[in-house]
Amino acid sequence: MTAEAPADRPVEAGRTSAPHGVQHCALLYEDEQEFLAGALPHLREGIDAGDPTFAVTPKQEAEALRDSLGRDAMAVQFIDPSDFYSTPVRAMAGMMAVARTLGSRPAWVVASADWSKYPDAMEWVRYDSIFNMGFADADFRGYCCYNTAVLDPEVISLVRQTHPKLHEGAQLRRNPDYRDPRDFVADVDSRPLPPSPHSAASMEVRPDDLHAVRAFVAEQAKHCHVAGDALYNLLVAVTEVATNAIRHGRAPVTLRAWPDNGLLCEITDSGHWQPAEFLSWVPPESALKSGFGIWGVGMLCDTVQVRTGPQGTAVRLRVCKK
């Protein structure tokens, strides 16, 4: 990681000599004026430097930035966040692709989304935390923007723990609440998932009949109006997780499913096969030999949550209605 300024010393937002390495900042704002006050100077730095400059923002924020930038907006690549932030693991893969493409060139990024509409917000907060490790040496200079007037205060509290710097009010400062990603993710993983509802449909997964697993999921998907590519992806993902539970877990293996902003499927067993630290966020080298594992499942589903405890392991997959 790069050296940070002392906590009581503001960092000049218009600084033009940012050190090499990731600059991961959270912009906390309450209205459009505060959003522009933080985002515009950051984008202009990238434009003035002639570096690749991106705005991954919803339509309203994108239009405000375009209006304020005027002709300079032509130097910014605007991206619809729904195309980029489809799933946390896909977003991580997309950023890896951008990093490979840019090489040693710095990139200036302003990123925002209507996070209140995303299910399982904790998995996106986890993404923000892991980003600090996965791109520690990449020359990304990013502002992640969060509307404090809309988002739950608990989410904002977590955001404060996942960004080394905060732009709040008129200043960019070192964030005293920032936590090491390993400690933060360990805390997330220690939080139990909400219990499945009593109304959830369930079946026992048998090693010799994964066809029954797929038929079960397909039937539940009908009731939740999950079809097409979303259903196909879910069938592949559930089959992969069920296979892992059979190979690495301990019987009985149980599959539950219930409607919740689409369809939630949960595979539980009595073993402890949680993947190695952060493995599920990068493509495994063994993917071509033994299946694509939990990383591939994350590419297919809107969110994936894994918990291991005294009672065994649970993997919860969500696919939203498209």
pLDDT at 262 over 60: yes
**Tens of pLDDT along 91-110?**
998 888 888 888 888 999 99
Residues 6+ apart with CB under 8 A from 209: none
At 140, phi and psi to the nearest 5? -90, 135
Between the two ends of the chain, the Cα-to-Cα distance in Å is 39
d(CA 132, CA 175) in angstroms, rounded, equals: 14
Query: Mean pLDDT score of the chain, rounded to an integer?
Result: 86
Ordered alpha helix ranges (H), the chain? 32-49, 59-69, 81-84, 88-102, 121-134, 153-159, 181-190, 210-223, 228-248, 287-290, 293-300
According to the model, what pLDDT value does residue 17 have? 44
Of residues 118, 146, 159, the one with CA closest to residue 302: 118
Q: How confident is the model at residue 13 (pLDDT cuts 50, 70, 90)?
A: very low
Neighbouring C-beta atoms of residue 206, cutoff 10 Å: 14
CA angle 100, 113, 137 (to 5 degrees): 30
d(CA 35, CA 45) in angstroms, rounded, equals: 16
Tokens of 52: 């690749």
According to the model, what pLDDT value does residue 9 have? 36
**Tens of pLDDT along 147-206?**
999 888 988 999 999 999 999 877 889 999 999 999 998 888 888 899 999 999 999 999
According to the model, what pLDDT value does residue 5 have? 36
d(CA 47, CA 190) in angstroms, rounded, equals: 43
Q: How confident is the model at residue 287 (pLDDT cuts 50, 70, 90)?
A: very low
Place of tokens 């309203």: 60
Going by DSSP bridges, is the β-strand pair 107-112/53-56 parallel, antiparallel, or unpaired? parallel
Q: How confident is the model at residue 267 (pLDDT cuts 50, 70, 90)?
A: very high
Q: How confident is the model at residue 136 (pLDDT cuts 50, 70, 90)?
A: confident
pLDDT at 117 over 90: no
According to the model, what pLDDT value does residue 165 have? 95
